Structure formats: C-alpha cells, structure tokens
Amino acid sequence: MFMNGSHLFINEVQQLKSNLVIVADSSNYENQSQNNESYSLQWKMVDEMEQKKQFWAMQKHWYLDLYGFQNEENLKTFLQDKKVILDAGCGMGYKAAWFAELAPHATVIGMDFSESVYIASEYFQSQENLLFVRGDIADTGLKNNVIDYVSCDQVLQHTEVPENTLAEFNRILNPAGKLAVYVYRKKALPRELLDTHFREKTKELSYQEKLEFSAQLTELGRKLSDLQIELDFPDIPVLDIKGGKQDLQRFIYWNFIKCYWNPELGEEISNSTNFDWYSPSNAYRYSKPEFIEMLSNAGFKLEFLHEEEACYSGVANPVSSD
Ligand SMILES: C[S@@+](CC[C@H](N)C(=O)[O-])C[C@H]1O[C@@H](n2cnc3c(N)ncnc32)[C@H](O)[C@@H]1O
C-alpha cells in the first residue's frame, strides 16, 4: 500500500489507512494520558458542532497574527521552499490540511496523541500530500533533520515535559528549518492559583461533570458580559492584577476565573473553550523571559515574537551548538 511520507520515519510504523499511521497510541505518563483522553473526547465534541467550520476559520485567521504572516499569501510564500512540514499536535487537522493546500509540492504530517487523527484522516482523505500520525510529538519517531517547518500551535504547554518536546523539534528540524511555537502566558496571581487548583479538581470529575462545569463557566461569562458594565479598575501589582478601564467580564476573566463567552461563536464553542482550559492536566504557563529562555536552552533563537494577554508565540531558528 502507498504510504505517503513513511520514508521519513526511523522505525516501522503501523499503517491503518493510506493517510494514517500509528507511531504510539498511549503514554507512560499519567498526566499525558489524561490529556490524550480529554482531547479525544473534546475533538469528538467539536466534530459534532454546527459552528466548527466558523471556529476553524477564526483559528486560521489568528494563526496568521500569532506567527507574523499577516495574510495567507505571506504564509503561502513562506511555505514555498518547505519540503516536509510537521503540524505538531494537529488536533482535527484543519491547519495541516491548510498547509497541504498552500504547499501542494510538500509532504505535510499532522501528528497528534489523541484520537483526533482518526477524525482528521477521514475529513482530509482527498489531500494526497497529507499524512496523519498518531504519536507523541516529544518522541516522533522521525529521522534527524528531515523537517523544514514545525508548526506547534497551542500544543507545547500540554506535553509532558515541554523542554523535551522542544529538544525533539531541534533534532528533527533541518538546520535551516523554522519552528512556529505558542505557549500560554502567566496571568494574575488569583487566576493562576485558581487555575492550578481547578486542574487538580477536574481530574476527579467525570466527563459529564466537566461538561456541566464548562457550561456553568460559559453562563457566568455570558451573564457578566450581558451587564455591559465598564469600570476603571485599580492596578494591584502585588497580585499582578492589571486595572484600567475595562469591561467587568474581561476584568474577572483575566484576573480571577476563565469564564469564556463569545457571542459570535456561540454557546457550544464557548463551552468547548472552557472545557479545553480546565480539563487537560498538563497546561503549563510562562512569563516572557521563561518562554525565551526555554527556547534558548533547547537551541532555538527567536526571530519573531508576538504577545497577547493570553499567550506568547513566535518563530524560531535552530542555532548550531558549535
Ligand atoms: C489546544 S489543542 C490544539 C490543536 C491544533 N494545533 C489547533 O490549533 O487546532 C492541543 C492538541 O495537542 C495535542 N497534544 C497534546 N500533547 C501532545 C503530545 N505529546 N503529542 C502529540 N499531540 C499532543 C492534543 O491531543 C490536542 O489535540
């Protein structure tokens, strides 16, 4: 059977379909296993959503900002000389499919540790230059220096040891290759403490209870947002709380509790976003210096840095050690 891209792997991979192979389907780590299970459930939930395509479109648009491409044409130009592209932690595969469409000359690999690859490989089976792989992006099974572009969008913080994942990217990237990477940003102290506490707590909850919890957070966000109250809040530097004129829901959201509500995307996507935040056990957060240092320790130099209240993202080059 034809196996697109199989020559890139060190070991024999188990082939399920012409566009789907398995490198690993379980982890030895408890938190990573819980993450895989949580994302397997979450992607099934997203798959059933009416507004999934709208969510994908919004995500693609955001991607262009996160990595400084600004528009799709620039991304297409950037991908022109990339022969092998890895979408590391591809979820439902819509970004891997996007890269495959913009770079028809390239082989694109979408790798994820959850069951999402089964859904993705069904959706995008007509794209011949696209291969889905179930596996750990911290232990890809790929040969040294075979990848020209690693895109690791909204994933690194969910891997067991992000430093090890970056080291793996360095190993598989060609020395002239590029890494696009994103991490969660540390927020105000009350929010950080509550987030850590909730993540421990949600481990004990059933899937149904987590869904209910997520819906309650959406409801809280919606009610606060409906109030349309804008206040001039004080700064409280000791708690890293940033004041200034802002909407009450936003103030509570950034400083105390994630209660996501987006009226344009609606209730299902908002629920899923709240679920995505509290359900996975691994969800590390970083300050800007920590993000830059972690990249530098793994042998990467940032050539582009983007920051938002929720995240840091950037494009980095591997630097030679000699
Ligand atoms: C927030 S989602 C982002 C998905 C996709 N990059 C996107 O932007 O839509 C995080 C994804 O990372 C995957 N993931 C987490 N740890 C992983 C690992 N060690 N190896 C492969 N995938 C992993 C999860 O299964 C999940 O699909």
| Minimum-distance ligand 1 atom for the alpha carbon of 56 | 9
Which of 25, 39, 62, 132 has the most ligand 1 atoms within 8 A of CB, as the residue to mutate? 39
Residue minimizing CA distance to atom 25 of ligand 1: 114
Beta-strand relationship, 130-134 and 107-112: parallel
Residue 14, pLDDT score: 86
Q: Distance between CA atoms of 281 and 38, rounded to whole angstroms?
A: 9
DSSP string, 138-158: TB--BPTT-EEEEEETT-GGG
Max Cα distance, the chain (Å): 64
Instruction: Please work out whether the CB of residue 155 comes within 6 Å of at least one atom of ligand 1.
Output: yes
Q: Where are the chain's structural domains?
A: 6-186+287-318, 189-278
Closest C-alpha to 146, from 9, 299, 321, 319:
9
| Minimum-distance ligand 1 atom for the alpha carbon of 87 | 6
- For 43-66, b/e burial (b = at least 16 CB within 10 A) is bebbeebebbeebbeebeeebeeb
Residues 114/39, Cβ–Cβ less than 8 Å: yes
Run of H or E residues at 272: helix 266-278
Question: What is this structure's pTM?
Answer: 0.95
Q: Distance between CA atoms of 120 and 160, rounded to whole angstroms?
A: 23
Q: Can you name the CATH fold of 6-186+287-318? A: Rossmann fold (3.40.50)
Q: Distance between CA atoms of 275 and 288, rounded to whole angstroms?
A: 25
Residues 60/98, Cβ–Cβ less than 8 Å: yes
Cα first-last separation, the chain:
42
Q: Distance between CA atoms of 78 and 72, rounded to whole angstroms?
A: 10
| Per-residue tens of pLDDT for the chain, all 322 residues | 345 677 898 877 888 898 999 999 999 999 999 999 999 999 998 898 888 889 899 999 999 999 999 999 999 999 999 999 999 999 999 999 999 999 999 999 999 999 999 999 999 999 999 999 999 999 999 999 999 999 999 999 999 999 999 999 999 999 999 999 999 999 999 999 999 999 988 888 999 999 999 999 999 999 999 999 999 999 999 999 999 999 999 999 999 999 999 998 899 999 999 999 999 999 999 999 999 999 999 999 999 999 999 999 999 999 976 5
Q: Helices H, strands E: what count in the chain?
A: 11, 12
Question: The tokens of 76 are what?
Answer: 């297409």
Question: The tokens of 75 are what?
Answer: 């991304």
Question: The tokens of 15 are what?
Answer: 């082939």
